[in-house]
């Protein structure tokens, strides 16, 4: 009606909201399919594919309107808008923000990256509508070139949001680390259970809303095999009940009452646990035979460290412990980056 490229871009942006919400519904429907022979971990990661589709829709729309807006800037056209049109656009902004906040609420409730992406899609549409309103008001006062610049702004917003959402979806598909809160929640639940002396090397695999957790727990080496098995099963049952995850537990037998173990533990806690390069020290054991004496323990390291920095840290720690405990060799096991 008013020959506005920015308003047409905003209309397509709004239409893409409808399409993206349809993709969200499809993604949730597919993700709910049960596991099968070809997909033993279920179909939860289809949700990430749905998120990626939303991102591609935004990106493609942004590129198209970028080209159209450049043409409109070079060749301004008359934009004849009315105040009632501005009022209607303001009303749509309110509606879009309400939808965005509701999608954010649902996203937080079910921990869905797809819904979070859809929420930002709606919000970006509301923000781009502000640019369009500026172009329409400018057109009423004869500043027709503003329409092209507003269209360019909408295009950039589409491209930027497409990039951000795609990056998050790709990270989920490749496999990103769990949050510190997720890891600590599991650690706190497990370490409070009877028979568990410590928990480390926690791994979390996410498949949409389904999570598979594996971890090491420390138990007293004096426990019988039957008791150790019961402890492991109890840990798995509690994690399943409280967090709804599928857990696998590995047991590390330790000797917490061994005087030398206590001595080494106190030394490491007092001198190394606060070192910024080391995030956890665990599974401390002592081997003493006629041939050799060895102190063994594992460490988790700060995620951003390079291989040579890890090697230097281990060498420094090894030398310090051997100096403190004369006659003992030190064997340090560094956990991979995907273990916490």
Residue-level pLDDT, tens digit, the chain, 340 residues = 776 767 777 777 777 777 777 777 777 777 777 777 777 777 777 777 877 887 887 788 788 778 877 877 777 767 677 788 888 888 988 988 898 888 888 877 766 666 777 777 777 778 777 777 777 777 777 777 777 787 788 788 778 878 887 887 888 888 777 888 888 899 999 999 999 998 988 998 887 777 889 999 999 988 898 999 999 999 999 999 998 888 999 988 888 888 888 999 899 988 888 888 898 898 888 888 877 889 989 998 888 888 899 999 999 999 999 999 988 899 989 888 778 8
Give CA–CA dist 101/105, Å, rounded: 6
Judgement on whether residues 140 and 52 belong to the same structural domain of the protein: yes
The verdict on 297 and 181 lying in the same domain is no
The domain boundary residue, chosen from 174, 206, 233: 174
- State the total domains in the chain: 3
Q: Which two tokens stand for residue 244?
A: 């709804």
| Bridge partners, residue 285, by sequence | 296
* Tokens of residue 315, six digits: 């060498």
Residues 42 and 31 in one domain: yes
Helix (H/G/I), strand (E/B), else coil: 301: strand
| CA angle (211 as vertex; 210, 215 as ends), nearest 5 | 165
Residue pair 211/204 in contact (Cβ under 8 Å)? The answer is yes
Whether the Cβ atoms of residue 28 and residue 114 lie closer than 8 Å to each other: yes
Residue that finishes a domain, picked among 192, 224, 254: 254
What CATH number does residue 45 fall under?
Answer: 1.20.1510.10
CA gyration radius, the chain: 29
Quick one: 154 and 23 in the same domain? yes
* Same domain assignment for residues 273 and 340: yes
| 167 plus 127 within the same structural domain | yes
User: H or E element: which one contains 289?
Assistant: none
pTM: 0.64
Domain of 139 in residue numbering reads as 5-174
Q: Are residues 105 and 225 in the same domain?
A: no
Residue with tokens 């030190």: 330
Structural domain ending residue among the three candidates 142, 174, 206: 174
218 and 93 co-located in one domain: no
Clarify whether residues 20 and 165 are in a common domain: yes
CATH code for position 240: 3.30.70.1350
């Amino acid at each position: 009606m008013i020959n506005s490229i920015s308003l047409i871009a905003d209309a397509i942006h709004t239409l893409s909201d409808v399409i993206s919400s349809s993709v969200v519904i499809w993604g949730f429907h597919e993700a709910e399919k049960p596991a099968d022979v070809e997909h033993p971990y279920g179909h939860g990661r289809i949700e990430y594919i749905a998120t990626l589709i939303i991102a591609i829709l935004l990106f493609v729309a942004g590129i198209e309107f970028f080209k159209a807006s450049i043409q409109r800037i070079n060749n301004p056209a008359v934009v004849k808008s009315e105040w009632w049109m501005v009022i209607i656009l303001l009303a749509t902004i309110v509606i879009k923000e309400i939808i965005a906040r509701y999608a954010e609420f649902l996203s937080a409730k079910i921990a869905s990256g797809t819904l979070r992406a859809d929420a930002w899609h709606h919000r970006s549409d509301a923000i781009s509508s502000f640019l369009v309103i500026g172009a329409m008001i400018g057109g009423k006062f004869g500043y027709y070139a503003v329409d092209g610049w507003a269209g360019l702004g909408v295009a950039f917003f589409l491209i930027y949001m497409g990039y951000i959402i795609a990056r998050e979806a790709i990270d989920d598909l490749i496999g990103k680390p769990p949050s510190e809160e997720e890891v600590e929640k599991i650690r706190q639940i497990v370490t409070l259970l009877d028979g568990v002396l410590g928990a480390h090397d926690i791994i979390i695999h996410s498949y949409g809303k389904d999570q598979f957790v594996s971890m090491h727990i420390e138990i007293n080496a004096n426990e019988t095999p039957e008791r150790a098995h019961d402890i492991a099963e109890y840990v798995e049952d509690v994690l399943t009940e409280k967090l709804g995850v599928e857990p696998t537990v590995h047991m590390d037998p330790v000797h917490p009452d061994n005087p030398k173990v206590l001595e080494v533990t106190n030394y490491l806690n007092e001198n190394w646990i606060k070192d910024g390069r080391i995030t956890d020290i665990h599974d401390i054991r002592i081997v003493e035979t006629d041939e050799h004496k060895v102190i063994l323990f594992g460490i988790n390291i700060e995620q951003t460290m390079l291989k040579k920095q890890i090697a230097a840290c281990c060498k420094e720690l090894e030398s310090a412990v051997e100096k403190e405990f004369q006659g003992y060799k030190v064997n340090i096991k560094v956990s991979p980056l995907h273990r916490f």
